[in-house]
Amino acid sequence: MLILSAVLLVLMSACSSGTDTAATGTQDAKSASGTESGKKLKIGLTVPTLGNPFFVAMSKGAQLAAVKYNADITTVSADQDLAKQTAQIEDFITKKMDLILLSPFDSKGIAAAVQEAKNAGIPVICVDGSAEGGITSVVMSDNVMAGQQAAKYLADRLKGKGNIVIIDGPPVSAVTDRIKGFEDILKGFPDIKVIAKQNGEGNREKALSVMENIMQANKNIDAVFTINDQEGVGVKIAAEQAGRGDEFFISSVDGAPEAVEALKEKKAFAATSAQFPNEMVVKAVETGIKVIGGEKVDPQILIPVEQITQDNVSSYRGW
């Protein structure tokens, strides 16, 4: 009987030890991924276009976040089509994603799809621009700051006087905030005249075409502000093709690899306010996991931008 009692005691002790280990493992997995042990988070990310290096960098950030937070992240391109981005969100809902990350092509137009996700109980975290319809939070660059940086650089270099062009972009909050920051600073420089403001649609080809028309109508241009580097490079090409590459300089936003190369040339492309798209997505996933876990999060999380010029580009860490 004594021997039997000893054996039973050992067995009970082993069972108790196994239960404690399993519980600890479950807790560790839950803290790492925000879900129960053995279940990966399912996350859908939709971006305006993977034809832009900025959104390619964002997709790379999603890959980093997938490893860091034990998640399966599906990244899709809306190809600058509101209907397609709407359909992508609807598909994420059908697939019962745990979290939707949205970089909106049209902040207002996507509202119905966001509302549909909200009704399905799926949190929507916006990245690089807000959207209507009831998003949970937005993680983005301080785009007002980006516009302000560009305007200050431009105004200082022009010494407060000159003719400038603004190449606008898609109707998303990131773009409108950049324009707002830029124009707010310009109010303090009445001798800087905006002689043209047109939509370059955020891409190189359109900005090139728009700038060609602007140059035909204006013989004296001192500087150009573009809302992203894709447009900035398009403007640079247009100026060079017209033999006016030395006439004006370009101040932009993004910090893209192509802008880095253009800055190193030390020609018309003079400055860019650098964003960090990969960091944005990692932060968005982290924020979404908190929401899934029942935590409260800030409705807006801003990431500072960094002014990169021809003088400091060699020390810029890039994307």
Q: What's the confidence (pLDDT) of residue 38? A: 62
The pairing of beta strand 300-303 with beta strand 137-141: parallel
Does some domain include residue 227?
Answer: yes
CA distance 235 to 200: 9
Does some domain include residue 26?
Answer: no
What range does the domain containing 249 cover? Answer: 143-274+309-315
Distances from the Cα of 127 to the Cα of 69, 204, 250, angstroms? 18, 22, 26
Token digits of residue 310 = 């021809």
Does some domain include residue 24?
Answer: no
Does some domain include residue 25?
Answer: no
Letter for the amino acid at 182?
Answer: F
Q: What's the confidence (pLDDT) of residue 25? A: 31
Q: What's the confidence (pLDDT) of residue 19? A: 31
Does some domain include residue 129?
Answer: yes
Letter for the amino acid at 74?
Answer: T
CA distance 249 to 251: 7
* In a shared domain, residues 110 and 157: no
- One digit per residue, pLDDT tens: the chain, 319 residues? 344 344 333 333 433 333 332 222 333 333 445 445 568 999 999 999 999 889 999 999 999 999 999 999 999 999 999 999 999 999 999 999 999 999 999 999 999 999 999 999 999 999 999 999 999 999 999 999 999 999 999 999 999 999 999 999 998 889 999 999 999 999 999 999 999 999 999 999 999 999 999 999 999 999 999 999 999 999 999 999 999 999 999 999 999 999 999 999 999 999 999 999 999 999 999 999 999 999 999 999 999 999 999 999 999 999 9
* In a shared domain, residues 270 and 281: no
* In a shared domain, residues 115 and 179: no
State the Cα angle at 85 between 98 and 132, rounded to 5°: 75
Residue 168, H or E segment: strand 162-168
Q: What is the pTM of this model?
A: 0.78
Asked if 55 and 272 count as a contact pair (C-beta separation under 8 A), the reply is no
* In a shared domain, residues 119 and 148: no
Does some domain include residue 171?
Answer: yes
Which has the closest alpha carbon to 193: 166, 226, 230?
166
Residue partners of 223: CB distance under 8 A and separation at least 6: 154, 157, 158, 162, 164, 165, 248, 249, 250, 251
* In a shared domain, residues 256 and 285: no
Distances from the Cα of 193 to the Cα of 148, 164, 223, angstroms? 17, 6, 10
Within 10 Å of residue 117's Cβ, how many Cβ atoms?
24
* In a shared domain, residues 199 and 254: yes
Question: Across the chain, which distance is largest between two alpha carbons, in Å?
Answer: 106
* In a shared domain, residues 190 and 251: yes
Token digits of residue 83 = 């209907």
Distances from the Cα of 273 to the Cα of 20, 266, 307, angstroms? 52, 16, 4
* In a shared domain, residues 69 and 159: no
Within 10 Å of residue 204's Cβ, how many Cβ atoms?
23
Ramachandran assignment for 62, one of left (phi > 0), alpha (psi -120 to 50 degrees), beta (any other): alpha
Does some domain include residue 98?
Answer: yes
* In a shared domain, residues 126 and 213: no
* In a shared domain, residues 258 and 282: no
Does some domain include residue 160?
Answer: yes
State the Cα angle at 83 between 78 and 89, rounded to 5°: 65
Token digits of residue 135 = 């998003």
Q: What's the confidence (pLDDT) of residue 22? A: 29
* In a shared domain, residues 180 and 223: yes
Number of domains in the chain: 2
CATH code for the domain of 262? 3.40.50.2300
* In a shared domain, residues 151 and 264: yes
